[in-house]
Amino acid sequence: MIVTTSAAIPGHTITEWKGLVKGNTIRARHLGKDIMAGLRTLVGGEIKEYTAMMAESREQALQRMVEEAQELGANAVTEVRFTTSMVMSNTSEILAFGTAVVAVKG
């Protein structure tokens, strides 16, 4: 599966548009991670616990988007974007979305 942020795929011709595809996940913060993050805010630096959680969330949202594209018969997703929002206190949603297409070499 080709996944790209651009509208075109170099070396390929888009022959079919399948439509919008998306994948999301909602994650809640973890008390143990909150304690570590709170301590880290006192001394400064990256909050690695949250960086790892958000990276995992992005990958899961991306995988769900790809699965939806495959179900539509696409072999690529173009114009991929990510967005995030707060659903409720202490939770975040990561949404990946793009356009499912069929692309052929040439």
- What are the pLDDT digits (tens) for 64-76? 999 999 999 999 9
* Closest C-alpha among 73, 83, 82 to residue 19: 73
pLDDT for position 51 = 82
Gyration radius of the chain's alpha carbons: 17
pLDDT digits (tens, 9 = 90+) for 18-61: 999 999 999 886 655 555 556 556 666 777 777 888 899 999 99
- The number of beta carbons lying within 10 Å of the beta carbon of residue 104 is 13
What CATH fold (topology level) applies to the domain 2-105?
Translation Initiation Factor IF3 (3.30.110)
Relative orientation angle of helices 31-43 and 48-71, to the nearest 10 degrees:
130
